Every structure is written in structure tokens, then in C-alpha cells.
Amino acid sequence: MQDERGLYYYPDPTNRRARVYVRVTDGAIEFRLWQADHAEVWDKHGWIPLEVIRNAAAMYRDMGRETDPMLLYDEAVARALLKEAGSL
């Protein structure tokens, strides 16, 4: 899907009030979260490169956390959206 902010997907298909936007910058996939209930998130947090998210996921695993950032920032979905849009 796409709107004035760019390409996005719903990380939780049952919640249309949160979106993850995707783009490619210098060949790298980047993500940015938007939440209707917390508009400040968009303003305070910029684009996050996929590599940073991968590193965070590895750190979470090493610390024994069950949370996996890769579930929110889904590389496969991002690649599919970007490919469909002609950005990859």
C-alpha cells in the first residue's frame, strides 16, 4: 500500500492504526513506524536501516529476550513491497 508518506504495510493486520513504512536508500532497506495513537513516534524516530534491526534482533536473542524486532520490521514483506513498486 502507499500514501503520502510512502510505501507501507500493517505489522498487525488486525490493527489499521499502526503502519511500517519502507524505502530504499543507497541500496539499503529502511523502515519507519507510524502509529495513529502515538503520532510523536513518527516525528521523534527517523528511518531505521535493516542492518540496525538485524543487529538489535541478535542482541535481543543474546540477552534471552523473547521479543523479536524482525516480527515488526519484516524484511520479506518490505522486499515484496519494494520490488512491486520497482524500488528493488
Q: Is residue 1's pLDDT more than 80?
A: yes
Q: Is residue 65's pLDDT more than 90?
A: no
Q: What is the 3-state secondary structure (H, E, C) of 66-87?
A: CCCHHHHCCHHHHHHHHHHCCC
pLDDT digits (tens, 9 = 90+) for 46-63: 999 999 999 988 887 888
Q: Is residue 28's pLDDT more than 90?
A: yes
Which pLDDT value is given to residue 70? 76
Looking at per-residue confidence, does 60 or 42 come out higher? 42
Q: Is the dihedral of CA 33, 12, 37, 65 positive or negative?
A: negative
